[in-house]
Every structure is written in structure tokens, then in C-alpha cells.
Amino acid sequence: MPSDALFGPSLSTDLMLVTVSDRAWVQAMLDVEAALARAESRIGLIPATAAEGIASHCRVDEFDVAQLGRAAVRSANPVVPLVNALRAAVPKDAAPFVHRGATSQDILDTAMMLIARRGLELILADLEQAAASAAALADRHRATLMAARTLLQQALPTTFGLKAAGWLTAIVEARSDLIRVRRTRLAVQLGGAAGTLAALSDRGLEVARELAAELALPEPILPWHTARARVVELATALGIAAGVAGKVALDVVLLAQTEVGELSERALAGRGASSTLPQKHNPVDAIEILAAVRGLNAQVAVLQGAMLQEHERAAGAWQAEWPALAETLRLAGGAAFRLASLLAGLQVDPDRMRRNLDLTGGRIMAERVVMLLGERVDRVMARALVDAAVATATSTGRPFEAVLQEDPAITPYLHRDELAAALDPAGYLGVAGLLIERALAAYHAHREEEE
């Protein structure tokens, strides 16, 4: 469900844009204020009626989000005007208990964790779909021959199934890391003005524990006001997941080139069209993934740089995190969504793969000839003989097999039938089949663990 916005937001999805919108941030902050009031009520710090009165007004629809944003400029964060507005909205006898013992960063950082958790749910769902499609491709194309390419040159035969299995394993690993971050690193923040919880006297740890339970977030060992590793870990995990999507997208873009033509995106009316060239079918899912990855990498760098924070409260670095993390989620969400779409509709052309594999006239099998010949003559000599045959085949345009069969230095050691077998790409795939099995087994084991 891609957004209809023109530029940056178009690389995300409608659901993710809503999840990280200003309204969503305000609601998340209100969720924290409501949870704080309930937590303090449960241990007897504030009256239950006050907690109920506060929680009942923690709804974003009661507040002017745009006005809160304008007012936030005066205090360098949006929590100050939000707390003032919430105090004005709740019953008069509940107003003194709003935000008790907390500081702005407690509310905003914990809200950030809630936003991240909600965003991660969307990304994880899309990565799950992408993994399922990659697994299906790996299984279906176990024996589909293609050229493996190193430094963009044909290297050896492989199968498209193994390439898809590589995508699958990378997706599963990236998704597992995001699950770990979601479960263990999205912690509650509660430290008060300077990280000591002094305003809550000796009840601070109780409040933190109850707040964590209320929000279903882990309770950290200490407040993490200026210890920002968990924010960077989240961003890095998102960056890795997007990078995995980008790797798949780059493979697809390269294999979809007209001169290669081994893969293409699903053809949909108007999707991938050119403004001037009717014949073009551009790989737009892959293109948008690659754009999103580049934008996301810049945001991860911002968050990494924001780790340098002064003492117990940062001057500027903390403020830089909010838009950067929101943009990281936006772009990672867009990349994951498009990856799922790309793999679900990927069109594979096995015949074109085979024709491209044959473009070198058999020279792609030169290593196998070296290995076979090296069993019967000195390995260095074998390499020199095959190098010479490759050079002759390349310069003359003759089939590699014909050159080998006419070489008097080679034919005494390799008979005609042996040479023909040695030049069969299907016979030189190593353990590709076993590797595909391992990737699929690991994927299915991962799914069973989740269930």
C-alpha cells in the first residue's frame, strides 16, 4: 500500500507513514503519560481517580497537534506543551498528578520505543512475506542453471535456486535481529530530571517496574538518558534489513537489464512505465528499494553521531534523533514492503539464463577442465595449458570444446567423452543443492520457533 506522496514519503507506505506521523508521536507520548499515571496509582503514589481522569484524556483527538508542534519550539521538545495541555484537559483534582516524577525525555524516549515497536511489527510482517517468496523461489529453481558473476563477469555455473536461497538466508537473519531488538532493546525510559528519580523519593524503581509492565516494555538496569546504544542498535538493525533488501534489488536490477533479461518484475498496468518509451518495463520496486536504502543510511549516520551526548542531558543530539529515527522507520518500512512485492511477483526466465550461460562458448567451464587435467599432470602445467586454450578460443571465437579437443598437449590426458562431460554446467555445481536444502531447513526451523 504505497503512499501517494510525491517525493520522500513515496518511498514508504501509507501504514508506516501513519505509524510515525506527528499524530502517532503525540498519541505515543499520551500513552506513556497514561501508563505512568496508572503505574503510580497501582503503588499508591497518586489516587486511582486521578489516574483514571488522566488516562481518560490521553487521546490525541483532544489536542491540536499542529499547535503543539509550534509551541514545542519554545522548549526544544514537544513534551512541555503537551503536559501543559493535558493538565488543562483533565479534571482539576487530577491535574497536579499529571507527569509526576518524570521529565520530558522520559516521556519522549519511551514514546519513541512504542513508535519503534509499532513500526517494527509492520516491517517484520513484510519481511516474513519476503522470506516466504524467497523460499518458494529457492525450492522451485533448485536446478535452474545460470551464470554466477564475480566483478560483474561470468565466473562459474550456479543455480537461481542458490541465489534465491542466499536472499532467503539474509532476510531471515535480518528479521531475526529485528525481533531480538524488539524483544530486548526497546526499553522504558524513566530517570527523572537527572537520572536519579529523586522526585519519586524511594519509590522510583517501583514506578519504573510498573511502568514497564503497563507498556509491555523491558525495564532497563539504569535510565539511559545519554546512553544511546539501544537507539543506534535499533537503527542499525533497520539499516541491515534495508541493506538486505537493497542487495536483492541490485541483483534484480542487474539481471533485468535488456542485454541480460534473466529476471523481471511482475507486469502491472502502468507500473514501471516510461514517460516517453512505450517498450520499457522498469524494475520500479527494486529502484525504490535502492533509493530508500541510500536515504536510510544517512539517517543511521545521524543517529550514530548523536551518541555523543553531554553528561545527563544532551544539547541538540537528542533532538536530532527524533526525525532521524522516524525517517529510518519510514524508509525501512518502504524497503521491506517493496521487497515483499518484488519477490512475490518476480518473473524468472530459465531459457534466457541458459542462453547467457552459453555465451562464452564453454569457457565458463575452464576451471573444471583445470581441475580434471590437474589430476593427471602437474597442476601448474594444467593451468597453463587451459589458459592457452582459453586465449585461443577467445581470440578466434571458436567453441572452447573444439579448441581443447584439437590440443595435442591436452588430448592424451582427457578423452573426447571426458571433455564433453567436463563442459556440462549441470555437472559442476558443487554442493549447491545441499546449500539450498540447508537454507530451506533453517528457514522452516525459524518459522517453527516463532509459532
Closest CA to 187 of 151, 139, 223: 223
Q: 76 Cβ partners below 8 Å, 6+ apart?
A: 319
Please work out, in degrees rounded to the nearest 5, the angle formed at the alpha carbon of residue 227 by the alpha carbons of 224 and 233.
Answer: 105
Which cell numbers hold the place of 177?
535481529
Around Cβ 83, how many Cβ atoms within 10 Å? Answer: 17
* Catalytic residue (choose from 100, 203, 209, 313): 313
Contacts of residue 44, Cβ cutoff 8 Å, sequence gap at least 6? none
274 flagged as catalytic: yes
The torsion defined by the Cα of 206, 212, 218 and 219, in degrees rounded to 10, comes to -30
| CA dihedral over 286, 287, 291, 294, signed as positive or negative | positive
Write the CA distances from 323 to 33, 301, 371, integer angstroms: 21, 13, 56
Nearest to 99 by CA among 200, 227, 25, 218: 200
Q: How many CB atoms lie within 10 A of CB 150?
A: 8
Task: Check residue 94 and give left, alpha or beta (phi > 0: left; psi -120 to 50: alpha).
Answer: alpha
Catalytic member of 23, 140, 274, 294? 274
Determine the angle formed by the axes of helices 104-140 and 160-184, rounding to 10 degrees: 160
Whether residue 104 lies in the annotated active site = no
DSSP letter at 222? S
Name residue 2's beta-bridge partners: 13
On whether the CB atoms of residues 211 and 255 are closer than 8 A, the answer is no
Helix axes 22-42, 104-140, angle to 10 degrees: 120
Please identify every residue annotated as catalytic. 274, 313
